[in-house]
Amino acid sequence: MFPSTRPRFRASSDSDSEEVLLRNGVVRGNSSSPRNRVGELNCNDVIGGGRGMLLSEEARRAIAEERVPLASLASVVGGGGGGGDRDSSSTRPRFDFQQIAKWVEQILPFSLLLLVVLIRQHLQGFFVTISVSAVMFKSNEIVKKQTALKGDQKVSALLGVSFVFMLYVICIYWWYRNDDLLYPLALFPPKATPPFWHTIFIILVNDILVRQAAMAFKCLLLIYYKNSRGHNFRQQGQMLTLVEYTLLLYRAFLPTPVWYQFFFNKDYGSLFSSLITGLYLTFKLTSAVEKVQCFICALKALSKKEIHYGVYATTEQVNAAGDLCAICQGKMHDPILLCCKHMFCDECVSEWFEREWTCPLCRKSVKPADLRTFGDGSTSLFFQLF
């Protein structure tokens, strides 16, 4: 009896050991791999080795070397492991962008319809604002061209341009004489609280027409310096810069009375309107400090004869240099000695610096002025809305 049952016990043991090895990831294959070494173990090696042990130490080491990390349940449920998470996270922003694009596509036609209705309700205001802005841009180019002519301007042309500019401004204010456009010019609030779009219209039209009137004044300045002795174009540029910074300072305060009247509306409640008005005035005063500083710097530059890019040369320095300007090829007039020791006429080198801040001979960089210059007759084109 014993010989017949013994092989059967060994077979079942072998099958059990194979089942245990397969369950732990052991596959028969090449004899050189650790898995094959585990497969060659007999039943005694698997079952033996102490109480409570299913595998020998050698089998355990072989399985540990070839153990494949198993995916966790959360990763499987979440979409196939870490790679799936990365794929989903990478596609999520694209999905959000597509949703935003679809949302914009849906509301764009309705927004255009609202814009058309808004323009139709304020058609005259839109037309006037766009037209006076176009005229201002063209007028700025005309004044710049007249300034670039230096002493070759025609007095009749400058007088004609100045007269047309002022007549244009007067006609616009006369046409809108009942729309409270004149009160903010004297920094007084309008008589009645204007609606929002009318507030914007008053501020924009006043801001544009004030610049138009300043351009007419610049043309008169060009006439004055053309007829003056010596044609001091550097002083002319300083005066144009001072006029522009004075205009910027005035324009900074020009919208204040209109917004004051708009915010100080009793319909919102006395506490709320007082709080909003106080905050606006605080922000306005903070932003106006820079304009005041620029105005003071421009005034100092005009009153002082000092120049930031050099010094006036002495007689000995002029004689040593040869008394010949390299720019105009003529005799020195008010010679300026730059930091690179090259000497030029004051008018010649100041005109050169309107194009680039380098020495005309050695091309060494010259420190530009800390204050932006408007010596070319240009006018700042940004809109002072607040």
Confidence of residue 249 (pLDDT cuts 50, 70, 90): very high
Interatomic CA distance for residues 341 and 318, integer angstroms: 11
Interatomic CA distance for residues 356 and 368, integer angstroms: 9
Question: pLDDT per residue over 310-332, tens digit each?
Answer: 777 788 888 887 778 888 888 88
Averaged pLDDT for residues 194-202? 90
Distance from the Cα of residue 379 to its chain's centroid:
21
User: What are the backbone angles phi and psi of residue 344, rounded to the nearest 5°?
Assistant: -145, 165
Largest CA distance in the chain: 142
Confidence of residue 355 (pLDDT cuts 50, 70, 90): confident
Assess contact for 264 and 256: CB atoms under 8 A.
no
Most confident of 68-82, 210-224, 365-379: 210-224
Residue 230 pLDDT: 54
Helix extents (H) in 152-263: 155-175, 196-227, 233-253, 256-263
The DSSP bridge partners found for residue 335 are 345
Q: Which residue has the tokens 């870490």?
A: 82
Domain boundaries, given as residue ranges, for the chain = 2-65, 115-303, 310-353
Amino acid at 80: G
Confidence of residue 228 (pLDDT cuts 50, 70, 90): confident
Question: pLDDT per residue over 152-174, tens digit each?
Answer: 888 999 999 999 999 999 999 99
Residue 299 pLDDT: 86
Burial 275-296 (b: 16+ CB within 10 A, else e): ebbeebeeebeeeeeebeebbe
3-state SS, residue 385: coil
Interatomic CA distance for residues 304 and 351, integer angstroms: 19
Looking from the CA of 284 toward its CB, the CA atoms found within 13 Å total: 21
Query: In terms of pLDDT, which residue wins out, 98 or 383?
Result: 383
3-state SS, residue 80: coil
- What distance, in Å, lies between the first and last C-alpha atoms of the chain? 111
Question: pLDDT per residue over 289-313, tens digit each?
Answer: 988 988 888 888 777 665 667 777 7
The token duo for 92 is 């999520």
Q: Taking the model in full, what pTM does it have?
A: 0.65
**What is the secondary structure of 259-284 as a DSSP string?**
HHHHH--GGG-HHHHHHHHHHHHHHH
Q: Which residue has the tokens 């903010």?
A: 184
The DSSP bridge partners found for residue 336 are 312, 344
Report the chain's C-alpha Rg in angstroms.
43
Interatomic CA distance for residues 177 and 202, integer angstroms: 12
Interatomic CA distance for residues 340 and 361, integer angstroms: 10
Given a cut of 80, is residue 53 above it in pLDDT? Answer: no
What is the average pLDDT score of the chain? Answer: 76
Averaged pLDDT for residues 59-66? 59
Burial of 340 (0-12, 13-18, 19+ CB in 10 A): middle
